[in-house]
Amino acid sequence: MNKHINTVGSNTYQRIKHDIIYGELEPGTKLKLDGLKTRYAASLSTLREMLSRLASEGFVAAEEQRGFFVTPVSREDLIEITNLRVLLECSAVKESIENGDTDWEGNLVAAHHKLHLMEQKMLNGDETEKETWKRYDGEFHLAMIQACNSKNLLDIHATIYDKYLRYQMLVLTYRGQEAVDEHKAMFDAALARDAKLAQELLEKHIRKGVEHTLEKIFSVDE
């Protein structure tokens, strides 16, 4: 299915990134090279190379001569990430709806269908595949903006989305029917080529989801 990238480097890169996003490496944790060496079975040089990459993407904080840390989380950071996501994704969805061809529509229909199936599963109480569900959610949002004609924008968006995803994983709340309806409404607006409506729905959708998250994570502490 998905091509297996076989260098030690890109493998550990993906694993570390995954572990940060999905909370297995907790925010603020010191990433000691020697510890990572045993955990990921890679050499110091290789690890440094990948940590450097993750640092420039913002998942890792690097301090000169003092090592690497998992980037901490904070209320302010989540708000910044959210605003950026709204800005980028709303801009992209407009372009995408205006430029999208038949292939784009096809992929969008498929992505929404897969997401919808998973959402039904979740509504029925099956919470065994939260990670898969979130992946379909991401793929649906990506399908919406795929035709925006800007590789640069899609790249930046992907990173921002992953950062948003990390916050989601810290609580992993499911808004239920409400979110399902929002996805459907956005999907319909996109097929109807109503860019303005899609933008409005998208912004509300994103902000509502994050409010939910903000309350749960940063209600008392930090």
Partner DNA sequence: CTTGAGAGAATTCTCGAGAAAATATAGTTG
Partner DNA sequence: CAACTATATTTTCTCGAGAATTCTCTCAAG
| Contact map string, positions 7 to 46, toward DNA, x by CB under 7 A | xxx--------------------xxxxx------xxxxxx
Start-to-end C-alpha separation, the chain = 43
- Residues in contact with a copy of itself by the rule CB under 8 A: 5, 7, 10, 45, 48-50, 52-53, 55-58, 64-65, 77, 80-81, 83-84, 87-88, 91, 149-153, 155-156, 160
5 binds, among DNA, a copy of itself, none (CB under 5 to 8 A by kind): a copy of itself
Query: Residue holding tokens 């509504």?
Result: 123
From 197, 164, 172, 156, select the one nearest 79 (Cα to Cα).
164
The smaller minimum CB distance to DNA, of residues 9 and 27, is found at: 9
Measured from the Cβ of residue 166, the count of other Cβ atoms closer than 10 Å reads 20
Least distance in Å: CB of 183 to DNA?
A: 39
Report, in Å, the least distance between residue 42 CB and a copy of itself.
13
Alpha-carbon span 23 to 162, nearest angstrom: 12
| Residue 123 interaction partner, one of DNA, a copy of itself, none, beta carbon < 5-8 Å per kind | none
DSSP state of 4: -
Contact residues for 115 (Cβ-Cβ < 8 A; gap 6+): 136, 137, 139, 140, 183
Residue 186 phi, psi dihedral angles, 5° rounding = -65, -45
Report the C-alpha gap between 34 and 47 in whole angstroms: 10
81 binding partner (options DNA, a copy of itself, none; Cβ < 5 to 8 Å by kind) = a copy of itself
Residues forming contacts to DNA in the complex (CB under 7 A) are: 6-9, 30-34, 41-46, 48, 64-68
